[in-house]
Amino acid sequence: MEGTPGTLAAVILAAGHGKRMKSDLPKVLHEVGGIPMVIHVVNQARSSGAEPIVAVVGHKRELVIPVVEAEGVKYAVQEQQLGTGHAVQSAQSSLEGFEGDILVLSGDVPLLSHETIDKLLEYHREQGAVATVVTAVADDPTGYGRILRGDDGLVLGIREHKDCSDEELRVREINSGIYLFRAAKLFEALKRLKNDNAQGEYYLTDVFADFFRDNLPVGAFKGDFTEITGVNSPEDLSRVEDIWRAREGNS
């Protein structure tokens, strides 16, 4: 379900340090199947018709910029890594005048399929949602933000792991860090972001609080945990490489 021109843009979060990789190479340039992870994510966005695509770069950006520019992708610089909300704010000027939906992807999540993105787009638009978060059920949700639902099954909030209560930590439905937003509503909410949390960061998830307060429709699309697995360590990279090879061998 590719979007028509001007209906879908993408922001790729690719500014992080990736300290747990124990490498001088920026995390998003580590390869899966011989291709830098960030290029896998560019391909995800492009296969679903996103235009423009903006990569938010920061740590060692002098290495990342040539890689994304070679793919015809715009870039925006996040001078300080102050959180995911701040990263998307950094991309806002590159999307000035855009009025469609904005897909937010993570530069270290290379296994997401374009079929899943297309289903997400369809769900988001059928629901008439101002924002949709991709979720998944994890056997071990440690480190992931949690999806909080009411008794009626509707999403009530998204809580970062470090800010969860003991009860919330038992929730196994997690936030993948992949989102779809109506551009105008996202930009309005970004103006009101605050950093009063355990990390002192501007969380993108906090824009959902605005939407809930204003009773705006928010969607939660359940994806496959394998597809939304992020790479934070050499062990993660090895595991994702194995999944990639198995998938390619079956295609």
- CA dist 182 and 180 (Å) reads 7
pLDDT of residue 3: 42
What pairs with residue 76 in β-bridges? 56
- 245 is known as an active-site residue: no
Closest of 162, 48, 45 to residue 107, by C-alpha: 45
How do residues 115-138 score in pLDDT, each as one tens digit? 999 999 999 999 999 999 999 999
CB of 54 closer than 8 Å to CB of 120 = no
User: pTM higher than 0.85 for the full model?
Assistant: yes
DSSP three-state, residue 155: strand
Write down the residue that tokens 């937010």 correspond to.
104
How do residues 200-237 score in pLDDT, each as one tens digit? 999 999 999 999 999 999 999 999 999 999 999 999 99
Closest of 147, 99, 120 to residue 45, by C-alpha: 120
What is the arithmetic mean of pLDDT over 97-114? 96
> Is the model's pLDDT at 1 over the cut of 60?
no
DSSP-H helix ranges across 21-60:
37-47
What architecture does CATH give domain 8-237? Alpha-Beta Complex (3.90)
Closest of 9, 216, 195, 30 to residue 109, by C-alpha: 30
